[in-house]
Amino acid sequence: MNLSITGRHLEITPAIREYATQKVARIGRHFDHVTDIQVTLSVEKLQHIAEVTVRLPGKDVHCEARDENLYASIDLLADKIDRQVIKYKTKTQNHAHEPVKRQEVPAE
């Protein structure tokens, strides 16, 4: 799993990088086949924006969260992307049912 964290109009400090890495690592608990994760943190006026794109086999999942606090936006982002990955995982699982039991007809 490749993880890249970039900042737009924002310097990524080691504390922010570690916090974002820790929060995004929760995805690995639910789904093992994550190829790539790209996190972008930015600031626009008074809003801190956290965006993530998670590359999964067959699909890219994108999510965005905004808040006045950068750490709060990372928390919101982690919760949203966690829910989306769980939803994707349940859709891709094989929901095979048990085969229908046939009643045997007695031989004459």
Each residue of 13-43: pLDDT tens digit? Answer: 999 999 999 999 888 887 788 889 999 999 9
Whole-structure pTM value: 0.80
Cβ proximity of 23 and 74 under 8 Å: yes
Cβ proximity of 5 and 20 under 8 Å: yes
Q: How does pLDDT run across 37-57, given as a tens digit for each residue?
A: 999 999 998 999 999 999 988
HSE-CB for 98 with a 13 A CA cutoff: 2
What pLDDT band is residue 95 in, cutting at 50, 70 and 90? low
Residues 63-70: contacts with CB within 8 Å, 24+ apart?
Answer: 70/10, 70/16, 70/41, 70/43
Q: Which token pair is 9?
A: 């109009």
Domains in the chain (CATH in brackets) are 2-92 (3.30.160.100)
Look at residue 58 and tell me whether its pLDDT is greater than 90: no
